[in-house]
Amino acid sequence: MHSPRSAPPTPPAHTPAAAAARTGALLAVLSAVLLTLVALSWSPLMSFDRTVAEGLHGWAVTEPGLTGVSRVLTDWVWDPWTMRALLAAAVVWLWWLRERLLAVWVAVTSAVGTFVQQGLKSAVGRERPHWPDPVDSAHYAAFPSGHAMTAMVSWVLLLWLLRRHGAQGRLWRWTIVAAVVSVVGVGLTRLYLGVHWPSDVVGGWLLGACFAALSIAAYERAVLSRQH
């Protein structure tokens, strides 16, 4: 007599897959709320965006030195292509380690994140700030900030990969510092240079973290299923 085949086990609540899924779900709700407010041009949010943007732009106009540094940081150090290059290096490293599925997963997550970002920009169609005396320029629609979203996706994935491979101590601490400085810094430079509204940057952060968390949850769930 054969015993009945049991169903695949449900991942416990404390697994990486479950934690990432909960985080992704929460971020998805927050992202949806902000996206709705932006799409509806909710007056309090629009007023806040305008006030902050005007204040920062006035500062940028009167501080050409700081503005120049901000342009270098946003166009080279924290540029989306720089972030993608970091992930590409990680993908090569994973491939060399023969972790082919994980390498492809990271590469696809980065690529799909870019398509999602551009799709949302096109769908929302929000105009960027316009100034009589601009200190920088940018293309495409404003929401969400591509710089902010790409930086968030890239650094969340990089931190996840390092943690999966046992990073700790000084390496782990300095990587966290680099991630925080990069993600926050790129958002602030986009605002300071007057090419985004504050809600564009926050939206990029939320959507980037949400997308990365859900991708991590899906991968960890797949790995757990294969182990059983």
User: Can you give the pTM of this predicted structure?
Assistant: 0.93
pLDDT for position 9: 52
Burial of 130 (C-beta count, 10 Å sphere; 0-12/13-18/19+): exposed
CB 136 within 8 A of CB 194: yes
CB 192 within 8 A of CB 59: yes
The angle formed by the CA atoms of residues 153, 154 and 158, to the nearest 5 degrees, is 120
- The CA-to-CA distance between both ends of the chain, in Å, stands at 23
Among 209, 222, 223, smallest CA distance to 154 is for 209
Model confidence pLDDT, tens digit, residues 66-80: 999 999 999 999 999
Fold of 18-227: Vanadium-containing Chloroperoxidase; domain 2 (1.10.606)
CB 34 within 8 A of CB 203: yes
φ/ψ (deg, to 5) at 144: -85, 165
Model confidence pLDDT, tens digit, residues 88-147: 999 999 999 999 999 999 999 999 999 999 999 999 999 999 999 999 999 899 999 999
Q: What CA dihedral angle connects 92, 97, 100 and 104, to 10 degrees?
A: -30
Residue 1 pLDDT > 80: no
* Domain spans of the chain, in order of start: 18-227
